[in-house]
Structure 1
Amino acid sequence: MIDIHCHILPGIDDGAPSIETSLEMAAALIEDGVEAVICTPHILPGLYHNNGPQIREATEKLRYALARSELNLQLFSGSDAHISVDFVEKLRTKEILTLADSHYVLVELPMHVRAEPLNKFFFELIVAGYVPILSHPERLAWIEPQFGLIQRLAHTGVWLQITSGSLLGKFGRSAKYWAERLLDEGLVHLLATDAHDTKRRAPDLKRGWDAAASRVGEYEANSLVLTRPRGILTNTPPSNLPLSLAQKTNAVFKSA
């Protein structure tokens, strides 16, 4: 399995507070069956002033620490970047990092208030040649009244990534309900841990895979944690990767 959203870098945001915690997280990820991780520190102006060079340096230091500890886990650089008006420009200057230097980029929206205008923001990202991945939409406080918007985004080129802990009830009943509904409607492209530590937000991708497989089957569960994430690492275009279940349904409907 490949975890495309993990706050494993030490002392860089609200994730792992120390190198010791990072190594404990790495061991837990390996034990869970994860072979590769994309390190995605928050980039949020006014709170987390991380940038591309800083994240790359921290990733390289953690790679060295993993090797010294004989922990066989591949690391790639990325970011969990909050929506902003200059998002595309920051991508071009590498202030915001794409996932593993691919065309795929993880985007975080405000948790409690809908940002405007979202359609325009994601359209500009796609036109600029990126594949936006909306992180944990099921945990947005405003998802219920705006669920139609989330559905439209998923049908117009935006990938959806849900958190494994949401399926396991770790973020409450609302997040669990919306994670399951997004899965059931075939709108989810990726499953990731969004792990921050080894206790409160510990790696749990295998249990998340189990929960997803019970709803959408093993083939699609594998696509969520292996096939599509591997495609991100190799910068494979979305058209060459497995369609989401909703996209498959639409394709069958159009050909009928």
Structure 2
Amino acid sequence: MERKTEMIVDIHNHILYGVDDGPQTPDETILLAKQAVASGIHHVIATPHHKHRHKHAFYENDYRKILILVEEVNILLQNQGVPLTVYPGIEFHLHDQIEHDIEYNLEHFLTLNNTGKYLLIEPPCSYLPTNTEEVLLELKRKGYSLILAHPERNKILRRYPEKIFNMVRQGILMQVTASSLLGKDGKRLQNFSRYIFNHNLVHLIASDAHHFSRRKFELVSAYNWIEENYTASDRSYFMENAAHILDGSDINMKEPKFIKRKLQYFFVPHQTIQTEQA
């Protein structure tokens, strides 16, 4: 395996076909895989939605089905000459009955790359369940390390960013979407993502890619932005963390800085935020 400092791993994407709102056919998966490789990515952990309702659709994916489909996709890509390796994972939605699943269906919580360590948990966008922290801590007590997917999209976390600080202090990792950091999802998400980034409250960057042209793998572009606006060491930090997720080893968490609500992060440019945090 490549050295962690040279390895680019995307830990959150929807590259598997026919399971959620990602590719619907093998051909679409191939196109998305080619786009990942063209951007510089050769290792991805597929994380289809589970227990997630989106508009009129409800996505529920058995972990055994995911393991089989990952094998099939890897054979497909190998036969097509696409140098991308796909690993299994799941994006487990923080749904209303999750406590029941923890009690009776713990095997459904497929860890990233099936190492038994890291779980990717997705909060809703418009609200945050009142039992969120209790659920995450219960999963930690079960022995898992938790990654909260795209906290910048959650309306409540944007309003009360101290909740993110509190969760990080409890050992919960935060994964921001590359397109949010780059401003491709709008100024509000861009400024908030950079605000928590500047407070050491981001541990992982991922693409959340769904489509080869509409929602692409933007991870390398985000890493380039980090190196241009911060340092090469900062870029390496995030690359190494993603590689640690892949092999199930511990990552280095920087000391978080206390954060509070700041109306300006909805409107001010990145340079102003940097100056205020310097």
Q: TM-score, normalised by structure 1?
A: 0.89
Count of residues in Structure 1 that have an aligned counterpart in Structure 2: 242
- Is the partner of 1:37 in helix, strand or coil? strand
Q: TM-score, normalised by structure 2?
A: 0.83
User: Which of residues 236, 244, 254 is equivalent to 2:249?
Assistant: 236
Q: Which amino acid aligns with 1:189?
A: H
Contact kept in structure 2, 1:91 and 1:97, CA below 8 Å: no
> 1:142 & 1:104 partners in 2: Cα distance?
24
Aligned to 1:75: 86
Contact kept in structure 2, 1:184 and 1:216, CA below 8 Å: no
Q: Which amino acid aligns with 1:147?
A: P
Aligned to 2:170: 156
User: Which of residues 191, 194, 211 is equivalent to 2:205?
Assistant: 191
Q: Which amino acid aligns with 1:158?
A: I
Q: CA deviation at 1:197?
A: 0.4
Aligned to 1:169: 183
Q: CA deviation at 1:128?
A: 0.9
User: Which of residues 108, 120, 124 is equivalent to 2:134?
Assistant: 120
Gaps of 5+ in 2: 1-7, 258-278
Q: Which amino acid aligns with 1:148?
A: E
Query: Is 1:27 paired with 2:31?
Result: no
Q: CA deviation at 1:245?
A: 5.3
> 2:87 & 2:209 partners in 1: Cα distance?
15
Aligned to 1:250: none
Contact kept in structure 1, 2:40 and 2:220, CA below 8 Å: yes
Q: Which amino acid aligns with 2:181?
A: L
Contact kept in structure 1, 2:147 and 2:175, CA below 8 Å: yes
> How big is the alpha-carbon RMSD for the aligned residues of Structure 1 and Structure 2?
1.6
Range that drifts further, 83-92 or 174-183? 83-92
Q: CA deviation at 1:45?
A: 5.5
Query: Is 1:16 paired with 2:30?
Result: no
> 2:104 & 2:194 partners in 1: Cα distance?
33
- Is the partner of 1:209 in helix, strand or coil? helix
Q: CA deviation at 1:77?
A: 0.3
> 1:213 & 1:45 partners in 2: Cα distance?
34
Contact kept in structure 1, 2:50 and 2:91, CA below 8 Å: yes
Q: CA deviation at 1:90?
A: 6.4
